[in-house]
Structure formats: C-alpha cells, structure tokens
Amino acid sequence: MIGLVLIGGTVYSFIGMTESELRWPVFWTCAGGAIAIIMYRNYIRKRKKNT
C-alpha cells in the first residue's frame, strides 16, 4: 500500500507539479522510498529462500 502511494507521488510530482519548486524534492523522495521498499522485499525474499 505504501509502495503504491510512493509510486503515485512520483508520477504526480513528475507530471502534475510542472511549475512547483517542490517538484524535484518530492520526486526523488518518493522514488527513493519506492526503491528502498523493493530492495528490502528482495532482501527478505532471498533470506527466506536460503533458510
């Protein structure tokens, strides 16, 4: 659920916030959060597979 919100925020900041000064900080924060969740899930999946 949180991942979908982060991806939505990334898309909205890239497309919908064209003239805002907060466009890039919001974009990079949301994109970084989504990537962190993906990396964490892959780490947990690998850890479960090895045990």
The DSSP-derived string for 12-42 is: HHHHT-TT-TTHHHHHHHHHHHHHHHHHHHH
For 21, 25, 40, 41, 50, the CA distances from 44, given in Å and listed in that order, are 37, 28, 6, 5, 10
**Per-residue pLDDT, 30:** 92
**pLDDT mean over 20-42:** 92
Q: What pLDDT does residue 1 have?
A: 84
Q: What domain count does the chain have?
A: 1
- Asked if the model's pLDDT at residue 51 lies above 80, the reply is no
* pLDDT value of position 31: 92
CA distance 31 to 25: 10
The pLDDT tens digits of the residues spanning 3-29 come to 889 989 999 998 988 888 988 999 999
Structural domain of 8: 2-50
pTM: 0.76
Q: How far apart are CA 43 and CA 46, in angstroms?
A: 5
